[in-house]
Structure 1
């Protein structure tokens, strides 16, 4: 019987140290949850690591000090985005100097700074490495199995002849070819026969896309993201009139479809979020209310007026965190029938799904929800409140699932109990 190695340290690798989106927000949450359980953490960040929370939590920080792809020299960005030698060297050096049999590595977002090159040094510790797929970039060149030009799902095998020949990128075919080169570099860096610990998916329906890309099903593990209700009690949706959209104002999120359908249906729509389309949409829909980007606590104060939340994404979202947060607050959902959560929402009576890119169908769903009898609306709100958290993990359940996975990679060794104040030295390195 082999000896069990306890978890001595978790190394989190992520492009950013400050939250710029949902994935980095989750990385920082995981960091806090690990430290709360007395587990030592090292954060290897592609940026400058300027987050005061690291010192507060006693986290070792190793920083590359670079900017995201679109923030620097275009030629250097194109090269680094495929193979960032500095990131690879930094990580290789850290492993040389600090690796122990109880160290677990957990990669997150790498597509903006760190690049596929980080998987070359990680091969040496592959069995102790968990690769978190917050999206499809580990499988598909454009990260979504989506033909953005036609706005339809793609069922091609990644890097097949049909894949390479298809102009599916929202920017240009040249960008598609660059992303194809990056995908080829990723597959090369990861290697065909390297025994990686696990690839963590955020929804079970992602498995098909990953197996189509050549991954083995036995190496995939679905761990749904954590969610918290926006408010503690049930929002009485039956008393409200406003529909809400929460998210980035960019083409694939579908806010433009929600606004057009709301105008056609004659219902009020409130937008929480910001992005490149905001000015255009505000000018086009002056009768709707735009709140801009808001912190979670602020959203809780606004969302109490919601009759329903609309989720009209133009791509098949692997996981809609806002869907679970809203439903668990008692807010029914109207979501695209492409959403991975759509079947569960409909089956559990928490909302409806439709083709949200069909203006008439979307407007009809809005009208139906707006005209629903109070008792029927209350029933849907209560079902959403009761079942919303079945769409996601609680924060504690999510952390425990990942810690169990780490222990599994080490031979079922849970971390040794230590007082959190004595666990990690605080420092910062720059390469």
Structure 2
């Protein structure tokens, strides 16, 4: 797929559509990496973004930029938030006009995050170019109203059919049932905007296990394709974890990421947890756990310097993580993992012997896992570290391998072979 058609049918231009121009999380970080990798291959790129961010990377790489110039939903006018979140007419018009004036038969459209600004409305004008449009599912918002197949009040995974009777009557939202009803309305609008017979190019899933939720929502198996995210180690050598005693949490400090569980378990186990990240829980957690270390938000290179003192990385998410990028980055640096049983990577971590899993929402069990890692014989944890260093990167794509797969898919779409 990759070599033959990539030579014969290269994309003339790739239009990347994303809510944000500045990275605030893993998805937009990957969007900006894709921009960099495509430009390194001399593929022209147009960025259509929902915000008004002035990212210097765009001019540095020579990318065209079209900005909607709006704020994310929760930061705008409440009434406009309710309406625009369901159908943002300005976003639809912006994309319609770009297609009308700039589209060519060899232009590829690659949709990423749309749920915070752009809304389901963008898929209506994309009908015209659907066969050349890839939809990248960084989460499950294309299938599930709350984007995670998670019952937040009960903190359990959801197995319901999206927009089925039980789904409609179940309060699963992290805020309120009224907010769930709004999400249901948005989901219905999404399904309508997508259309049941529109020939979209492909839906790209970031892990194979996401497919079950998409199939439950009515998507066809042949329209789904799993392309795992790219990852690079934090450092270019194995971290000697057998000499270290610190445990690390890296991520946004919000309830569903579970930093509160990690801190409680670390205190109970009597180990030191170093927290890298920022978010709404930070102030309260700093006050509650003064004995722990809070580094705040750090750039990737700074994380690489900090994590050389790690014995293990904890991944205590309270929702099913479709792909834990930081888990692969740490494990590929030789750092063993302690992660939630709900993580899609959990089975592979156990199979490869690169870490341990547990119910991280049970503080006693989580503390026992930390104590087990802390008490592990020096030779045993060194071997676990060496296995992680050797095997973990296989759980992801390399950046260049990821770009090769995506450009191969672009070429196949242009050749009509998908």
TM-score in terms of structure 2 length: 0.97
Residue 375 (str. 1) matches residue 379 (str. 2): yes
Q: Tell me how far apart the structure 2 counterparts of residues 5 and 101 of structure 1 sit (CA, whole Å).
A: 11
Deviations 1:395-414 (CA, angstroms, capped at 9, x unpaired)? 0001111101111111179x
> Residue 300 of structure 2 corresponds to which residue in structure 1?
296
- 2:369 aligned residue (340, 365, 372): 365
Measured after TM superposition, the shift of residue 6 of structure 1 is: 3.2
Q: Name the SS for the 1:287 alignment partner.
A: coil
Residue 51 (str. 1) matches residue 51 (str. 2): no
> Residue 13 of structure 2 corresponds to which residue in structure 1?
9
- 1:337 aligned residue (338, 341, 344): 341
- 2:289 aligned residue (253, 276, 285): 285
> Residue 172 of structure 2 corresponds to which residue in structure 1?
168
Residue 141 (str. 1) matches residue 153 (str. 2): no
> Residue 255 of structure 2 corresponds to which residue in structure 1?
251
Q: Name the SS for the 2:335 alignment partner.
A: coil
Q: Name the SS for the 1:290 alignment partner.
A: strand
Which structure 1 residue ranges, 4+ long, deviate > 4 Å from structure 2? none
> Residue 96 of structure 2 corresponds to which residue in structure 1?
92
Q: Tell me how far apart the structure 2 counterparts of residues 156 and 352 of structure 1 sit (CA, whole Å).
A: 29
Residue 118 (str. 1) matches residue 110 (str. 2): no
> Residue 230 of structure 1 corresponds to which residue in structure 2?
234
Residue 400 (str. 1) matches residue 404 (str. 2): yes
Go from structure 1 to structure 2 and tell me whether the alpha carbon gap of 1:190 and 1:61 turns closer, same or farther (over 3 Å shift).
Answer: same
Deviations 1:215-272 (CA, angstroms, capped at 9, x unpaired)? 0010001000111101010000011001110001100001111111111111111100
Measured after TM superposition, the shift of residue 388 of structure 1 is: 1.2
> Residue 199 of structure 2 corresponds to which residue in structure 1?
195
> Residue 78 of structure 2 corresponds to which residue in structure 1?
74
Measured after TM superposition, the shift of residue 50 of structure 1 is: 1.0
Q: Name the SS for the 2:168 alignment partner.
A: helix
Q: Tell me how far apart the structure 2 counterparts of residues 233 and 6 of structure 1 sit (CA, whole Å).
A: 37
Q: Name the SS for the 1:353 alignment partner.
A: strand
Deviations 1:313-354 (CA, angstroms, capped at 9, x unpaired)? 000000000000000000000000000000000100100011
The answer as to whether partners of 2:10 and 2:410 remain within 8 angstroms in 1 is no
Residue 131 (str. 1) matches residue 135 (str. 2): yes
Q: Tell me how far apart the structure 2 counterparts of residues 394 and 6 of structure 1 sit (CA, whole Å).
A: 21
Q: Name the SS for the 1:244 alignment partner.
A: strand
> Residue 327 of structure 2 corresponds to which residue in structure 1?
323
Q: Name the SS for the 1:132 alignment partner.
A: strand
Q: Tell me how far apart the structure 1 counterparts of residues 242 and 55 of structure 2 sit (CA, whole Å).
A: 42
Residue 155 (str. 1) matches residue 159 (str. 2): yes
Q: Tell me how far apart the structure 1 counterparts of residues 263 and 75 of structure 2 sit (CA, whole Å).
A: 31
Q: Tell me how far apart the structure 2 counterparts of residues 195 and 341 of structure 1 sit (CA, whole Å).
A: 31
Measured after TM superposition, the shift of residue 70 of structure 1 is: 1.2
> Residue 356 of structure 1 corresponds to which residue in structure 2?
360
Q: Tell me how far apart the structure 1 counterparts of residues 374 and 9 of structure 2 sit (CA, whole Å).
A: 57
> Residue 424 of structure 1 corresponds to which residue in structure 2?
none
The answer as to whether partners of 1:5 and 1:101 remain within 8 angstroms in 2 is no
Aligned residues: 411
Q: More relative contact order in 1 or in 2 (CA 8 Å, sep 6+)?
A: 1
